[in-house]
Structure 1
Amino acid sequence: MASKPNPIASRIVPALLVLVTLLVLVYVLWKLDASPRTDDAYAYADSVDVVSEVNGRIVGMAVRDSQAVKQGDILFQVDPRPYDDELARARASLAALDTQIAMMQRTVKAQQYGADSARAAVSRAQAAAAQSIQTLKRTEPLLSKGYVSAEEVDRARTAQRSAEAELEAARMQAQQASAAVTGVDALVAQREVALADIALAEYRKDMTTVRAPFDGRVVSLKTKAGQFASPLKPVFTLIDTRNWFIVANFRETELGRIRAGTPAAVYLMADTGQIFRGHVDSIGYGVLPDDGGLVLEGLPRIQRSLNWVRVAQRFPVKIRVDAPNPDLFRVGASAVVRLEPGTAKSSH
């Protein structure tokens, strides 16, 4: 005789399945809320456009596309010959100016000797004038007593006036000699300008050799030796490989628990087996809306996936990777990020 199905058991099993499903769903939702995760992320590193600071033709390209370089490595060489000539002219100008200064110093010294001689002549003329005055004072009273003649008094008066005239002439000559004494101040100022020209020429010559400003990787190199380089035209781009970041776009509803310093676990789609640790470096405070709102140029534009419902906006969260694999990380590489707010160390 066939046994009848237990009606209680037939009702309990589906109920248990529903309960377990609900518990799993609650756990998953809790886990997602406690550890926000997104696969809308990509690798990022700072970069610079490498340009020549001087105009000239590239005579040597020391790197190739995608090559890793160290800080200080030579990247390319601009023809230095025009700048060698510029430096030689600046140094020749300084040498000529130094010669002119030396000659002027000798001239000034001679002028100074002339001025000193003129001042000595004034002193002699002053002494002669003083003596002629004393002689006239002694001679004039003797005329009335008959000790001297009128002619002798006249000669004494003439000598006194002559001495006064010579003194005045000596003073004028001394003033002219002093005024004629020049200086080398103007030439010394020109020498400072010449030194500045030399420093600038040396700097421009040094800039013909372009070196890596930091450890990085060469990308977008599409030229070679023979190309004319100028400060307005980048030769290639250099990625700063010293610091790697992951830019992860999180929903605005998840930003409440994200802080600078929040630990993160990331991996790249190129190799999902390598997990990298990192921490939140910064949180974006602006994106470019795509729903017809205010357009703010320069902000990141993030597309919303649905148009017929109100979708939470996503904001970029920049995560610094602690120990990136230099061979694996590439700018723009797809990544997956899981934040771990509960594991953040408290700071005091």
Structure 2
Amino acid sequence: MFLTRETLIRSFKMMLTLTLAVLAALLLWHLYNYYTYAPQTRDGKLRADIVPIATDEAGRVDSVVVEDGEMVEKGQLLFTIDKVRLRNALAQAEAAIATARATLRSAEREARRYAALDGVVSAQDRDTRQAEAEEARARFTQAIADRDLARINLERAEVRSPVNGIVTNFQLRPGVYANAGQPVMSLVDRDSYYVSGYFEETKLAQIHQGLHARIRLMGDDRLLEGHVVGVASAINDSERSTDAGTLLADVKPTFSWVRLAQRVPVRIAIDRVPEGVMLVAGRTVTVTLDGADKEIYPDE
């Protein structure tokens, strides 16, 4: 039997198709392993600590010395509260100290005088004068504490940054009344940036503390570097709730045929940021941990 030219061409096409199908199957298998088990995720977020700024004392905002988007250093003045009332409170506290001091001296003199009249005045009178002296001493100590508090309130009228931060979403203006303890502005802590990578639970076996991480911000090809700090200890179970009447577990009886892997937050510290990269909390990032490439290139 002789092989014709048409037979050879047909055989070659079949072999080529089979080879391409095998290569495609291998590629799909490696891609499946990569996206299913490799320690990488495109579902990550750049995070930072947000510091709400509030005043210790209620009052009218007297001056604002920063602007929206401005970088501030720790201890830098942000804004001030009207000090007129606070200065008056300090003056009153100092006057109260003078009054308490005079009262204390008088009470101590009376206590010493009665103590020297042993046998002339009754013991009850001596005890009464001694108690009055102790009460006067307590009132004097209280007056000093009130004066120190008034000084603290006056100092805290100048609100300063507690961190190296960035002023964000800032709308505070002079003349606004600020309530004590109610935030009037926010700072993004520049020293607190980190990445939360949401990895499928099938990848957790390859993730451990200290593992080197490569980070890419969406829309930016420059590479950031970091390391794994830790893995979240718990996530919410959406299939289970508590029955209000019995306090027993109320598990939904439904079961979907396609079970998606749960995503577990992994905290990643940032070690190196290329110059010029803009860090904005909330940006989407892709995280690739060491060992992820082995799912694509298992022999390397």
Taking structure 2 as the reference length, the TM-score comes to 0.80
Match of 1:278 among 226, 246, 250: 226
CA contact 1:287–1:315 (8 Å) conserved in 2? no
Q: Is 1:258 aligned to 2:207, yes or no?
A: yes
Match of 1:19?
22
Spell out, residue by residue over 1:124-182, the C-alpha distance to the aligned partner (whole angstroms, 9 max, x if none).
xxxxxxxxxxxxxxxxxxxxxxxxxxxxxxxxxxxxxxxxxxxxxxxxxx242665443
Q: Is 1:214 aligned to 2:163, yes or no?
A: yes
Letter in 1 for 2:282: G
CA contact 2:178–2:184 (8 Å) conserved in 1? yes
Q: Is 1:242 aligned to 2:184, yes or no?
A: no
Match of 2:136?
187
Deviation at 1:89, TM superposition (A): 0.9
Greater mean deviation of Cα atoms: 207-216 or 313-322: 313-322
Match of 1:294?
241
Tell me the distance in 1 between the aligned counterparts of 2:95 and 2:287. Answer: 63
Match of 2:287?
337
CA contact 1:262–1:341 (8 Å) conserved in 2? no
Deviation at 1:294, TM superposition (A): 2.8
CA contact 1:90–1:201 (8 Å) conserved in 2? yes
* Higher strand proportion: 2
Match of 1:73?
76
Match of 2:50?
47
Deviation at 1:269, TM superposition (A): 1.2
Letter in 2 for 1:294: S
Name the SS for the 2:171 alignment partner. Answer: coil
Match of 1:322?
271
Tell me the distance in 2 between the aligned counterparts of 1:327 and 1:54. Answer: 39
* Count of aligned residue pairs for this structure pair: 270
Match of 1:88?
91
Tell me the distance in 2 between the aligned counterparts of 1:274 and 1:15. Answer: 40
Tell me the distance in 2 between the aligned counterparts of 1:314 and 1:177. Answer: 83
Change (3 A) 1:327 1:340: closer
Residues 149-188 of structure 1 mapped to structure 2, 5 A cutoff: 174-176=119-121, 180-181=125-126, 182-183=129-130, 184-188=133-137
Taking structure 1 as the reference length, the TM-score comes to 0.69
Change (3 A) 1:335 1:310: same
Change (3 A) 1:30 1:287: same
CA contact 2:47–2:195 (8 Å) conserved in 1? yes
Name the SS for the 1:176 alignment partner. Answer: coil
* Higher helix proportion: 1
Tell me the distance in 1 between the aligned counterparts of 2:89 and 2:108. Answer: 29
CA contact 1:53–1:231 (8 Å) conserved in 2? yes
CA contact 1:276–1:324 (8 Å) conserved in 2? yes
Tell me the distance in 2 between the aligned counterparts of 1:4 and 1:186. Answer: 119
Structure label with greater radius of gyration = 1
Spell out, residue by residue over 1:38-86, the C-alpha distance to the aligned partner (whole angstroms, 9 max, x if none).
2222111111211111100000111111111111111111112211111
Tell me the distance in 2 between the aligned counterparts of 1:34 and 1:340. Answer: 13
Deviation at 1:217, TM superposition (A): 1.0
Unpaired segments of 5 or more residues in structure 2? 243-255, 294-300
Name the SS for the 1:21 alignment partner. Answer: helix
Spell out, residue by residue over 1:290-318, the C-alpha distance to the aligned partner (whole angstroms, 9 max, x if none).
xx7438xxxxxxxxxxx884322222222
Deviation at 1:26, TM superposition (A): 3.4
CA contact 1:44–1:332 (8 Å) conserved in 2? yes
CA contact 1:34–1:340 (8 Å) conserved in 2? no
Tell me the distance in 2 between the aligned counterparts of 1:206 and 1:199. Answer: 11
Deviation at 1:189, TM superposition (A): 1.4
Change (3 A) 1:246 1:39: same
Match of 1:103?
106
Name the SS for the 2:92 alignment partner. Answer: helix
Name the SS for the 1:239 alignment partner. Answer: strand
CA contact 1:111–1:177 (8 Å) conserved in 2? no
CA contact 1:243–1:321 (8 Å) conserved in 2? no
Name the SS for the 2:222 alignment partner. Answer: strand
Tell me the distance in 1 between the aligned counterparts of 2:183 and 2:286. Answer: 33
Unpaired segments of 5 or more residues in structure 1? 117-173, 296-306, 344-348
Change (3 A) 1:233 1:179: closer
